[in-house]
Structure 1
Amino acid sequence: MYLMESTEEGRRLLAQEGASGYVRSVLVATGLQPGARALDAGCGPGGISETMAELVGPAGAVVGLDLNEERLREARARNAHRPWVRFAQADVRRTGLPDASVDYVWSQYVFEYLPDRPVALAELMRVTRPGGRVVVSDIDGLGFQNWPFPEHLRVGTQRIVDALATRGFDLHVGRKLFSEFRSAGLQDVRVHLLPYYLVAGAADERLMKDWEIRFAALEPVAAPAFGGHAPYQEHCREFLRMLADPDGFKYAVTLVTEGTRP
Structure 2
Amino acid sequence: MAQGRTAALLSPCRELLREIIGSFRETRNASNARGLGKAMVKAATIDYIMDDPREAARLEAKVDPEAWVQKYMARHIAPGMEVLSVGCGPGVILGAICALHPSVRGTGIDISPDRVTEAIRRNRDNPRTRFVCGDAHAMQFPAESFDLVYCRMLLQYLQKKERAVAELVRVCRPGGTVLLQDLDGQLLWHYPEDPALQRAVEKGVAALGDTGFDPFVGRKLFWLARKAGLENLRVQVECYHLIAGKITPDVLKQWELKLEIARPQMTRIFGDEGEAKEYSRRFLEYLNRPDTLTYSTVFTVTGEKPF
Global fold match (TM > 0.5): yes
**Is structure 2 residue 102 aligned with structure 1 residue 45?**
no
- Aligned partners of 2:66 and 2:96 also within 8 Å: no
Number of the residue aligned with 1:200:
244
Number of the residue aligned with 2:22:
none
Q: Please report how far the alpha carbon of residue 227 of structure 1 lies from its aligned counterpart in structure 2 after TM superposition.
A: 4.5
Q: From 227, 246, 251, give the equivalent of 2:290.
A: 246
Q: Please report how far the alpha carbon of residue 224 of structure 1 lies from its aligned counterpart in structure 2 after TM superposition.
A: 4.4
What is the TM-score normalised by the length of structure 2?
A: 0.79
Letter in 1 for 2:255: W
Separation in structure 2 between the aligned mates of residue 218 and residue 182 of structure 1, nearest angstrom: 32
- Aligned partners of 2:53 and 2:114 also within 8 Å: no
Separation in structure 1 between the aligned mates of residue 153 and residue 258 of structure 2, nearest angstrom: 14
Post-superposition Cα deviations, 1:167-186, rounded to whole Å, max 9, x if no partner, equal: 22111111111111111211
Separation in structure 2 between the aligned mates of residue 198 and residue 21 of structure 1, nearest angstrom: 19
- Aligned partners of 1:201 and 1:244 also within 8 Å: yes
Q: Where in structure 1 do 4 or more consecutive aligned residues deviate above 6 Å?
A: none
Find the residue that maps to 2:99 and give its secondary structure.
helix
Post-superposition Cα deviations, 1:142-188, rounded to whole Å, max 9, x if no partner, equal: 01222222121111111110110012211111111111111121101
Higher helix share: 2
Number of the residue aligned with 1:36:
81
**Is structure 2 residue 79 aligned with structure 1 residue 24?**
no
Which has the higher relative contact order, 1 or 2, with Cα contacts under 8 A spaced 6 or more apart? 1
Number of the residue aligned with 2:301:
257
Check 1:199–1:21 CA distance in 2 against 1; reply closer, same or farther (3 A cut).
Answer: farther
Q: Please report how far the alpha carbon of residue 103 of structure 1 lies from its aligned counterpart in structure 2 after TM superposition.
A: 0.7
What is the TM-score normalised by the length of structure 1?
A: 0.92
Alignment of 1:110-125 (within 5 A): 110-125=154-169
**Is structure 2 residue 45 aligned with structure 1 residue 7?**
no
Post-superposition Cα deviations, 1:12-36, rounded to whole Å, max 9, x if no partner, equal: 111112399544311124x133432
Separation in structure 2 between the aligned mates of residue 208 and residue 33 of structure 1, nearest angstrom: 39
- Aligned partners of 2:183 and 2:216 also within 8 Å: yes
Moved more, 86-95 or 20-29: 20-29
Check 1:84–1:227 CA distance in 2 against 1; reply closer, same or farther (3 A cut).
Answer: closer
Letter in 2 for 1:24: Q
Separation in structure 2 between the aligned mates of residue 20 and residue 254 of structure 1, nearest angstrom: 18
**Is structure 2 residue 106 aligned with structure 1 residue 62?**
yes
Separation in structure 2 between the aligned mates of residue 71 and residue 22 of structure 1, nearest angstrom: 20
Unaligned runs of 5+ in 1: none
Letter in 2 for 1:61: R
Identical amino acids, percent of aligned pairs: 34
Quote the RMSD (CA, aligned, Å). 1.9
Letter in 2 for 1:18: D
Separation in structure 2 between the aligned mates of residue 200 and residue 24 of structure 1, nearest angstrom: 28
- Aligned partners of 1:34 and 1:55 also within 8 Å: no
- Aligned partners of 1:181 and 1:259 also within 8 Å: yes
Moved more, 241-250 or 126-135: 241-250
- Aligned partners of 2:66 and 2:97 also within 8 Å: no
Post-superposition Cα deviations, 1:202-228, rounded to whole Å, max 9, x if no partner, equal: 222332222222222322332344342
Larger gyration radius, structure 1 or structure 2: 2
- Aligned partners of 1:195 and 1:254 also within 8 Å: yes
Separation in structure 2 between the aligned mates of residue 23 and residue 118 of structure 1, nearest angstrom: 25
Unaligned runs of 5+ in 2: 1-46
Separation in structure 1 between the aligned mates of residue 140 and residue 146 of structure 2, nearest angstrom: 13
